[in-house]
Amino acid sequence: MSSKNLWDSISSSYDKKFGPEYERIIKRITRELRPEDEVLEVACGTGLVCFPAAERCRSILGIDFSERMIEVAREKQVKAKVDNVEFATGDAMELSRFRSRFDAVILCNMLHVVPDPARALEEAALSLKPGGRALIATYCHGEKLKPRAAVFSLGMRFLHALGLIPSMHRLSYAQTIKLVTGAGLRVIKAQLITGEGFPCAFIVAQVRD
């Protein structure tokens, strides 16, 4: 199954399955936003981060290459009556139309599943205005996992071996930091969030002058 088909197929159940996992990340991301910020979220999925972020910034554009994910996000927007959020289809590997447009870019739970995380970070960095910030959260499958997470990770690798899901990058915390700095970003703060789920890197980085 292709990556796009996978995300399309789970779009209607995504919030129920994965929403609780986002709670530990969303508060960290939204704390970094300012009322005047114009924000881009790359690989926004169903808008789990976009909607709470919209309460903290001027405007936010969420893009995702899964058309069905974007449809679900738009349906949620209509119900919530949020007018400073926009959703559109878009590829994390090609953000040239957004050069130097945003004050902040959010990359949440996506670096480990995109084909080329280094390029995704480079493209995201180029979408930022001078002094803009990248707010990054991504699972670190390369760190030592708690038993529950280790079993889940093993199952994911088995499903990939069967061709049922795309591969995932087993990034460590250190590798994630290196990818961020390699994209021309200066790390302002970084933390490895641990717990019962997967270890998650949370990084705030800024475009270098």
**pLDDT value for 10:** 82
What are phi and psi for residue 41, nearest 5 degrees? -110, 125
Percent of the chain that is helix, strand, coil (3-state, to 5): 40, 25, 35
Name the CATH superfamily housing domain 3-207. Vaccinia Virus protein VP39 (3.40.50.150)
**pLDDT value for 166:** 61
**pLDDT value for 103:** 98
pTM of the model: 0.90
Between the CA of residue 44 and those of 108, 128, 149, what are the distances in Å? 8, 17, 23
**pLDDT value for 31:** 97
Distance CA 206, CA 35 (A): 18
Go through 15-53 and write b for each residue having 16 or more CB atoms within 10 A of its CB, e for each that does not.
beeeeeebeebbebbbebbeeebbbbbbbbbbbbbbbbb
**pLDDT value for 45:** 95
pLDDT tens track for 95-107? 999 999 999 999 9
**Spans of the chain below 50 pLDDT:** 1
| Domain chopping of the chain, boundaries | 3-207
**pLDDT value for 144:** 76
